[in-house]
Amino acid sequence: MTYLRNIWYVAAWADQVPAGEKLVRRILNEGLLLFRDAEGRAVALRDRCPHRYAPLHLGKLNDGVIECGYHGLQFNAQGACIFNPHGDGVIPPLAKVESYPVEERHDALWIWMGDKDRADPALIPDFSSVINDGNTVVRHYLNPQANYELMIDNLLDLGHTAFLHPDSLGSEAIIQSTRRTRIEGDTIVDELWAPDGDAPPMAQFLFEKFSGVKIDHWLQSTWIAPSLIRGVAGYAPAGRDRADSETLPGLHWLTPETDTTCHYFAALGRNFRREDAQLDAIIDAGVMKAFGQEDMPMVAAIQGELAGVEAERLHPLVLSTDKAGIMARGMLRKLIKKERAEPAEEPSGDAPDLAMVGG
C-alpha cells in the first residue's frame, strides 16, 4: 500500500514515551523504536540493528544510548554507532541505524517518515483549539484493527451515530440534519446543522440545561490530509439564541500502522468543570465505549470483510452521509499521486560490502 510520506504523522502521545523507557511502534509498516535522549528530547530509530537485524528494543537503554541485545553494539539517539565491543573496536562504516525527525507538539510526538530535508515543524497543523492551557483535555490511544482510511470514513460519516451510538453521540436530529462540505486547500470542511431537535444523550449529560428541551446542534469537522481531523460540536437553545451556547472541541489523529491496522489518537477538550476528575473518568468511559466498543469492532469487521481489497474498488453504494469521506479519499489519492511523481530520493539500500565490515 502506498502512503503519503512527506508529512508529519503522530507517533505517540508524548507521555507514552517517558524518559528512560522504550516504545516500540510500527508506522507505515516500519518497525520503530521511540525513546528520549539524555536531554529528554524524543527520538525515533528504525527498530533494527544493522548487524544481524535484531530488533533494538530487545536491548538496553541507558542515558539515551541503546545497546543491541544480541552482540552489544551501542547506538546514540541519532542512530550512530558509538561503541563496538568486538575485535579492535573500530566502528564499521555501515554501523548506523536509520533515524527519523521527531517534533513534540500538542502533547504528542510527530514523526516525519519522508525526505528529511523537508521535515519543517511549521507544517504541523494547529490543534490549539483543543489542546491549550485553558482546556482540560481527556486523551485516548486506541489501536483499530483496520486500515486508517476506513477509520477516516467512519469519523467523517456522522450518519452512523444514531445507529451505532444511540445512547451517547447519536440523535434523530443528526440523521435529518443538513450538511455542507467544501474543499479548502488540502483540507475538507464538513459542517452539520441539526436545528430544533433533542440533544444527543452525551450533550444532555454534560449540559443539564439541554436535557428535555429542543436545541440547535451543529458540528464542524475539518479533515487535514492525510489523516487528521479537528472538530467542534456546538449546542444552543433552539431558535438561534447563541448567548447560552456550549461548544466542545475535539480531535482525531490516525497513523497507518500496517495495511490493515492503525494508531488512533483522540482528545476532547473542555473549559468548564476543569478540575472535575470524576467528569474526566465519565468522559473517558463514554469515549472508550463509543469508539472502543462500538466503532472499532464495526470497522474491524468491515476490514475483515474486505479481505485486503480497497473499498473503492468494490464500487460501494453511496449515501449522502458519505460525501466528506469520499472527498477525503479523492484528495488523498491525488496527493499520493503527486508525491510519487516528484523526483525519488536516492536509494538507501546499500548492498553489504564485506570489505567495510569491521570488528
Alpha helices (H) along 311-358: 323-341
Question: Which of 92, 90, 63, 95 has the alpha carbon at shortest distance from 79?
Answer: 95
Q: Which does 295 bind (CB under 5 to 8 A by kind): Fe ion, ligand FES, none?
A: Fe ion
Nearer to ligand FES, 48 or 230 (CB): 48
Q: Which does 214 bind (CB under 5 to 8 A by kind): ligand FES, Fe ion, none?
A: none
Minimum distance from CB of 49 to ligand FES (Å)?
3
Nearer to Fe ion, 202 or 215 (CB): 202
DSSP reduced 3-state for 167: coil
Q: Which does 45 bind (CB under 5 to 8 A by kind): Fe ion, ligand FES, none?
A: none
Question: How many CA atoms, within 13 angstroms, populate the side-chain half-sphere of residue 108?
Answer: 31
Minimum distance from CB of 64 to ligand FES (Å)?
18
Nearer to ligand FES, 46 or 165 (CB): 46
Query: Which triple of cell numbers denotes residue 276?
Result: 472535575
Binding part of the chain for Fe ion, among 23-31, 93-101, 142-150, 293-301 by CB under 5 A, reads 293-301
The length of the chain, given as a count of residues: 359
Query: Which triple of cell numbers denotes residue 329?
Result: 479519499
Q: CA separation (Å) from 302 to 153, 162, 298, 319, 321?
A: 11, 19, 6, 17, 17
Nearer to Fe ion, 70 or 141 (CB): 141
Nearer to ligand FES, 87 or 212 (CB): 87
Minimum distance from CB of 23 to ligand FES (Å)?
19
Contacts of 19 (CB under 8 A, 6+ apart): 36, 40
Minimum distance from CB of 160 to Fe ion (Å)?
6
Question: Which of 89, 87, 115 has the alpha carbon at shortest distance from 101?
Answer: 115
Nearer to ligand FES, 68 or 283 (CB): 68
Using the Cα atoms of residue 138, residue 129, residue 152 and residue 298 in order, give the sign of their dihedral.
positive
Minimum distance from CB of 170 to Fe ion (Å)?
9
Interface with Fe ion, residue 295, by CB under 5 A: yes
CA dihedral 305, 311, 316, 320 (to 10 degrees): 110
Residues that bind ligand FES (CB under 6 A): 49, 51-52, 54, 68, 70-71, 73
Distance CA 355, CA 189 (A): 57
Minimum distance from CB of 62 to ligand FES (Å)?
16
In the complex, which residues of this chain contact Fe ion (CB under 5 A)?
Answer: 295
